Structures are given as C-alpha cells and as structure tokens.
Structure 1
Amino acid sequence: MKRAIYIITIVTAVFITGAAKAQHAYFPTEGTILYDKTVHVKNLLRRHISTLKDGDFSKTYFQELQDRVSETAVLKKKVSFRGQEMSMENVSETYDPIINNLIRMGLLDYQQTLYQDLSKSTLKSAFELGGSPVLIQDSLLQVKWKITNEYRNIAGYDCRRANGVTLDSVYVVAFYTDQIPISAGPGTVHGLPGMILGLVVPEQHFNIYATDVKFGSPTLKTTVGRKRDQPMTRKEAQGRLKDILGRWMTDQQFNLLLAAMFL
C-alpha cells in the first residue's frame, strides 16, 4: 500500500511539473500585436484651436472644419517584438479626405515608424513634418510609473493599470500584461513589467488598445528612416523646431506638438 502511495505521489509530482512547464510556454518572447488608435478628433481640434493666437489665419479654418469632421478616427498600428527588441509601423487604411488631411498636417498622428532595443536602451523614430523627414535617435523615453490594483481585460489578457508621467508633465495611463514579458508598448512609452496592451494619453485626446495578439517569429523593422537622413536627439529636434516654429506658435501649442511627436 505504501509503495502504491509512493508511486502515485511521484506521478503526481511529475504531472504538476509538466503542467507548470506547459503553462510557462504561454509566456511568449516574440510575436505581433495589432492595435486600434482612437483619436477624439473634435476634442483634439478644439484643443488645437485654443492654442492658436488671436488673428492666426488658420484659426477660422479649423473652427469651420470642426463642424464637418467626424467625432473620432481609428488608426491601425502593428507592433512586432522579439526578445528585447520591438518595432512599430502603421497599417495602411482608407480614411475620409478630411482625416487624411489632418494626418498629413500632423494633427492626428505623425505616422512614425519606431524601433527600440531595450537591452541597449536606444530608440529610433522616423516621420515627416511639413513634408520633410525627421529621424530621432536617442535613449529610451523616461516614464515615472505608479502601479495600481485596477485591472482590465484587453484582447483576452488581464492587464494591470499603471499611471505615469513622461516628458516632464505628460500624464499617461497604461494597461500591461506580464504574460508577454517585454517592457514595451505601442509607441515610446515603456518601463512596466510586461507588454502595454492599452494606453491612454488624455492631453493628446487618444487611446490605443490591442485587438489581436499573435505569437511566432515576426519581421522586425530595424531600419528606420533613410540613410541620408540626419539623426537628431529629442533635445536637438526640440531646439531646431523652436527656431523654426517658435516665432509663430504659443508655448502651449509647441509643447503639445512635441509631445505628439515624441510619444
């Protein structure tokens, strides 16, 4: 009888160990995630109008546009990750002509291509501003996080909420899952113990949530920008843009512009 109990105990221990190993297999280190970025267009335009100086010729244009534009616009993003590397790119979609125009102007989204190497604490981000290419090459963005006890299910994953502050004063809300063990997300915001599947930036009037997670070897977009593009740090880009735009932009408008570019 004792021998039978001993055998059952050994078999049970082996089964539990095997189950634990099988469960561990569900914590992937590579794959792709699709996101929907919802921009609250009318609110964003209202904020933009409030930053314009009185007498600015574009103020009337945006006020008229606000009556004709849709309440929200949904932009598609794809994040690929492997080990401690990640890249983000845009998914091509057909949008309303007004939305397309606002995207080209950089008001809704800069459509940047992003690559980050978390092991080296480096990032590269490429986009266009006024038809001219911009290439940011710098260290990872710093975010001060406070993890809460609030949870939300996103794309089938239980995600924990964290409140953060970055770029000195930009408030962000993130929902991350430790079931995808890479400290990244849909953009430059990172630094949590797992993948960010939901991100809200109230100041920029957008939220971005994962809609589909697929595991497997992805194609990372490690080459960002063109070879002839001159890379700049965030500080250098801020200085150059201040020289060009600071003369006719208010400080509030300029800071909002930078936050949209660097996030």
Structure 2
Amino acid sequence: MTTLIKITIIILGMFTVTANAQDFQGVATYKTHRDFDIKIDSTKMNNAMQKQMMEMMKKQFRKTYILTFDQSSSLYKQEAELDKPQVGGGIQMSFGSSGSDVFYKNIKRKTYADQKETMGKNFLIKDSISPIEWKLESDTKHIGEYMCFKATYTKQVPKVNFDLKSNSKINDENEEDKELEMEERIITAWYTPQIPVSNGPAKYQGLPGLILEIHDGELTIICNKIIINPEDKVEIEAPTEGKEVSQSEYDDIMKKKTKEMLERYAPSRGSKNETIHISIGG
C-alpha cells in the first residue's frame, strides 16, 4: 500500500469525526531543544565557570510552546517561564525569542503575523506564508496515540562559523559585501492525518495533517500533549502590537543591528576584564 493511499484512508476515516465539527480546534504542547557547539577561550573563563554557564545554556535551549489551532488559523506562543539566569563575572546570557512573542498563521489566507520583542523593540512582522515543497515519505511511527508519516524538504541555509576566541573588532569593510556561503539542509517532519489540519509549530505547515515533530538542523520540536476540542474555547486572534514590517525588512534591520552590536562589544586587543555577551537566537 502506497503512502498516499494510507494517508487517504486515514484522512477519510477521521474526517467525519473531527473536521466536520463546527467548532473544531485543538491545543498542542511542544518541547523544543537546540543543540549547540561553542568553544570558549579558557583564558577568559575558568573551568568551573564554563561548566556552570554550559549547564545554564542547555536549560535555556529547552523551551515549551503552546500551539492553539483550528481548521484555518493558529497561535504559537512560548509558555511562561522564569527570568533568564545570569552568571557572575560579567556574563549575560540571552537565547532565542522573548516569552511575549506570538506567531499567528492563517493557512486559509496564506498569511502570518509574527509579534517579536527584539533588542528592546517590538516588531509586528506581516507577510505571506512561503509554500514548502514537502516530499512525502513511506516511513511511519507513532507519537503518543497518533500514527505519523514522515515528510522531508531541502533548503539552502547560510553556513555560519562562530569564533568566540577572537578578540579583534570587525574592521574589514569588504566583510559586509562578502557573499554568504550556503549549504543544503534536509528538514524532517512527522505529521498525523488523524488531526486533519495543514498546520504545525512555528512556520512549519503545508502537510495533510498536524505536524507533531520537526528536525531542522540543530533544532528539534516534539509534541508531547494534544487536546482536541477543549472545554474552554480558546480565541485565536492575530497579534497587533509592534512596528509593522515585512519579513525582509525585519531581516535587514536585524542584520544591521547585529553588526553594530558586534562592533560595539567586541573587546579591543590587549584589553583585560572583558565582559562576555552571548546571544544566540532561534
């Protein structure tokens, strides 16, 4: 039996149970984890401090998100958590998005609104959903009680090399104009036609069923809880706060601000007692 036939049978079997429900909606909880490999100059930090910082970094890369969805739209928001920890000795750690960030998708209109707080400023990114050229695979597995199918697609991503040992400022004027080196990355998704919505966490969508698991480079997203048609109906409304920009405008702003920050905080040669700032987005 081909993958397409299997999917069609499951969709037809579940469609009358869920999709025809007038107020069909659900709430899915996702756990996210991002692997990292950062080398820190031992002359700037002793072993005990490095170990403490790395443990805190691991915790910071483990987050919980809630996806509230219906047949046409969704809200994806980080679960409330305690303030980000800091380590003594001048090290400040900030990873990823703010807990107040909200990502709204309307898969029927093929648009999204991404409310972000970045570098102390609020942005409202509005743009069209880019179609994903998924390849439906024959592999299957269960995630909880749901039968899931595998899908993959390939995208080009910048090849980034981090060097935290460098203590020189960015002064090469040609660096700004240098073309980024790109590499291919295969993204893997596991989706279930038993929940017949073409949606998923963050920007992932476009499959014949809710996406329950994603592997995208260092990022892993796994659903560990789903409630279909909860007793308390959840309103799904697009966010409205922040300076409205397109995705390309936001990307240009972030590129400029990141360059300014690196130039400002990069320690001078021979300087002592440097403050180490680490910020890794995601």
- 1:126-141 correspondence runs (5 A): 126-141=115-130
- Residue in structure 1 matched with residue 244 of structure 2 by the alignment: 231
Aligned residue identity for 2:56: V
State yes or no: 1:243 paired with 2:256.
yes
CA contact 2:15–2:196 (8 Å) conserved in 1? no
Q: CA deviation at 1:80?
A: 1.5
Looking at structure 2, the residues matched to 257 and 167 of structure 1 have their Cα atoms a distance apart, in angstroms, of 20
Q: CA deviation at 1:68?
A: 3.9
Aligned residue identity for 1:26: V
Identity of aligned residues (%): 18
Looking at structure 1, the residues matched to 13 and 222 of structure 2 have their Cα atoms a distance apart, in angstroms, of 31
User: 2:211 is matched with which residue: 185, 196, 207?
Assistant: 196
User: 1:76 is matched with which residue: 49, 60, 64?
Assistant: 64
More contact order relative to length (CA 8 Å, sep ≥ 6):
2
Could you say if the C-alpha distance between residues 166 and 115 of structure 1 is closer, same or farther in structure 2, counting changes exceeding 3 Å? farther
Looking at structure 2, the residues matched to 37 and 98 of structure 1 have their Cα atoms a distance apart, in angstroms, of 23
- Residue in structure 1 matched with residue 273 of structure 2 by the alignment: none
Looking at structure 2, the residues matched to 185 and 140 of structure 1 have their Cα atoms a distance apart, in angstroms, of 13
Looking at structure 2, the residues matched to 154 and 238 of structure 1 have their Cα atoms a distance apart, in angstroms, of 35
State yes or no: 1:178 paired with 2:193.
yes
Looking at structure 2, the residues matched to 257 and 164 of structure 1 have their Cα atoms a distance apart, in angstroms, of 25
User: 1:207 is matched with which residue: 197, 221, 227?
Assistant: 221
Q: Which runs of 5+ in 2 are unaligned?
A: 1-11, 158-183, 264-278
Q: Structure 1 stretch 156-165 or stretch 139-148: which is displaced more?
A: 139-148
- Residue in structure 1 matched with residue 17 of structure 2 by the alignment: 26
Q: CA deviation at 1:154?
A: 1.6
Q: CA deviation at 1:93?
A: 3.5
CA contact 1:103–1:110 (8 Å) conserved in 2? no
Aligned residue identity for 1:208: I
User: 1:87 is matched with which residue: 62, 70, 75?
Assistant: 75
CA contact 2:75–2:103 (8 Å) conserved in 1? yes
- Cα RMSD (Å) of the superposition? 3.9
Q: Determine helix, strand or coil for the equivalent of 2:18.
A: coil
TM-score scaled by structure 2?
Answer: 0.64
Aligned residue identity for 1:147: L
Aligned residue identity for 1:115: Y
Q: Which runs of 5+ in 1 are unaligned?
A: 1-20, 251-255
TM-score scaled by structure 1?
Answer: 0.68
How many corresponding residue pairs?
220
Q: CA deviation at 1:118?
A: 1.1
